[in-house]
Structure 1
């Protein structure tokens, strides 16, 4: 069953809510935005939430305001990183509220993952095909996000977040819940031998792995492969100690649904960005 439930709201930010988590803890809010319900103009129409793509920053900030208001948070709750396709994990403290909300310079620099146990902090990150990863320790009330393109995935950013939760908050890996959100699917993600060599460094590409159609299939183009980044992240999560039953994985492909999502590949690199979010409201 699809865990990210489409929640179209006329003239409001389009959302894909992770309902199974939203009911797990009082005040927990988790999900992913679509591309409608904002104020942007083409090619960023309409709910672009990222400053770095060339959109009007006034419109981006208004879209962010609409989203936090819709979710029941304040603008001062918003925290994000300046993403670089790396594996750095930032620990978000109470004093970090508002980082990155109004401008790029105030965000956590060179950061693709965030974790916190502070209530009323809304962790966010941005996407147009890359894989959003979500983390929840329901015992210690710790939440996290990671932005995983192919570089972050093979760098095992998922494992970096899990290790941070364990060392900083005493999270137990068998308690941690994870989710893999809307992103480009294996149906549309064609990669070359350079990427596949890095995949082989991230996980052993045994005969079983290379014959797993859920991970790798042949492309119609010679020397290219159709890669399932979602499945690759799931494998890495399991290797890092996450129980398979504690992993939710979407079936949404951002490239297949340009009416609902921004897609870097589908729109030739000129497009807006969706946002993932996770936060615990004060109750």
Structure 2
């Protein structure tokens, strides 16, 4: 990922390799820099559910949307519940959840669309962001993968939703795994490790009796390949949100009192020539 500083605006990470390969695409991840929120959400908090002033959050979202090249009215998001529900977003859904949680898409952790100008957004402060692109059909998606959603296979459910909604073959898809708490910092107990070990023993490392270091990004990479995405079509960020609280919010490092980054992906509006 490439960090791009917009001067007085928000600092954003972009999937530059995708954006260069697919000029119709915009995809990236916000940092905590360049917003209006006060402590402890300083400054580019994009989550309406963490106790921050709504007006500041909406302004931060507006800044991110504009810096990403979209009208704020296209920002579309869901209430995330650490599940595996996938929603195909239509043109009529555009703008849901932008200014209020009341009209956000309910109980959904993955969003897909092929509608230009609809900016799919989801929120993070250690969990794993997953991006998806079908360049043949110009369909895009984003998924939120905490440990529960990862074990329940939100990655695979999203791939299967692409096939159902757009006819996408898994081998045609590209995927990316963004900044998240990595194996260096994410310690879990036997309960979590038991679920992970069933699918991906290599994603956990014993750290002390009854405790393990878990690399959810690595786990999700395995789930993406099991779902049929080719390994050479999967990009992965090396950023750890817990190590880099200068750039990112970290729920675990900051003891739950912090903001949220947003992952976005969208098709750009098509330019119609006379």
How far 1:200 sits from its partner (Å)?
3.2
2:263 is equivalent to residue 281 of structure 1: no
Q: How does 1:1-283 map to 2 (within 5 A)?
A: 4-201=1-198, 203=199, 210=201, 212=202, 215-219=203-207, 221-283=208-270
Structure 1 gaps of 5+ residues are none
Aligned equivalents of 1:194, 1:217: Cα separation in 2: 14
Partners of 1:7 and 1:188 in 2: CA distance = 26
Contact 2:77 2:97 (8 Å CA) reproduced: yes
Q: Which runs of 5+ in 2 are unaligned?
A: none
Aligned residues: 270
Root mean square deviation of aligned Cα: 1.0
Q: TM-score, normalised by structure 1?
A: 0.93
TM-score if structure 2 supplies the norm length? 0.96
CA distance in 1, matches of 2:227, 2:65: 32
Q: Spell out structure 1 runs of 4+ moving beyond 3 A.
A: none
Tell me the secondary structure at the aligned position of residue 103 of structure 2.
Answer: coil
Aligned residue for 2:172, secondary structure, equals coil
Instruction: Tell me how far apart the structure 1 counterparts of residues 189 and 91 of structure 2 sit (CA, whole Å).
Output: 43
Shift of 1:116: 0.5
